[in-house]
Amino acid sequence: MANWVCDDFDDCTDGSDEAVCELEDEGDWIAVQGGWILDSIGQNAAYAVADSSRGSIWNAGGQNQYYNNWYIVMDFQVPHTVQHLRLINYGDLYHDIMSFRLETSPTAEPYQWTEVYFTDTAQVEHSIPQIFSGFSGSGRYWRFTATETFEGWQPWLKDLKFHGFITPEETTTTTAPTTIPTTTTEAETTTTTVAPPIPTTSTTQATTFTLPTEPDNNSTSPPPTAPLINATQRMGEGGAVGASTGGASGGAVAGGVVGTLAVLGVVGAAGGYLLYKKKRTAVEPKA
């Protein structure tokens, strides 16, 4: 929305509007310098935004009619927040701006333009300052683009001003890390009772056999025989010994083997003795 503004010019013939010069928002009119103009279409763009004189204009010529993209690029040196814009048309109707766009960018080359404000309500056919409000944008680089004139010819702009303030730097708060106390957990101790080992060493009872001594040649009595009954008992005892050490089956087998060997030994000894006796008792030939 355009409003009449109090500035350095005599806006009204009676000077009545000079009594209300303050804007409600914080900030002031930014003193744009001629060296802040980075790029523009046409001639004398710096005069339109920097000299605060109605006697000079920005003539954005050199383009075809209805080009509708006449721009000025500015570097405000540091980020600024802009909340108001003021322009003064030439007032001849044919070159007066009807609509414009305002954009900002945090960086240059490449620019990252963000639209801050657009309007198509600018008034024509007069050269009274118009102020536009109702927006707020922050950035270092700014672009003003006239997007339409009354007859489509290049704009003739007498004045362009910005109202705002330097954007405060962001404050970064750093929070120290919180130390978490270390917790020690005592390990559980489990006691397991192990049964004593079963002894694996077995005692084997030896069986002693007494061989008969050489008999008298004239004796007719049979030699004494080995105690078979005792051997049989020893064989059983071998099985019992094996069973008593925790291996009943293994002990019985072992006892049986020992007993069998003992019987075979006795039988062999008896047989040998009979052969020996037969040989000794044979009838010798007479002389």
Domain ranges of the chain: 2-166, 204-287
Under DSSP, the state recorded for 14 is T
> Cα–Cα distance between 122 and 128 in angstroms, integer?
11
Which pLDDT score is estimated for 137? 97
Q: What is the CATH number of domain 2-166?
A: 2.60.120.260
pTM for this prediction: 0.56
How is residue 279 written in tokens?
Answer: 């040989």
Residue keyed to tokens 């009274």: 128
Under 8 Å between Cβ of 74 and 152: no
How is residue 188 written in tokens?
Answer: 């559980």
Low-confidence ranges of the chain (pLDDT < 50): 1, 4, 13-14, 16-20, 202-204, 206-211, 213, 215-216, 219-220, 226, 228-259, 261-263, 266, 283, 287
Angle between helices 248-280 and 228-244 (to 10 degrees): 160
Residue 142, Cα to own-chain centre: how many angstroms?
40
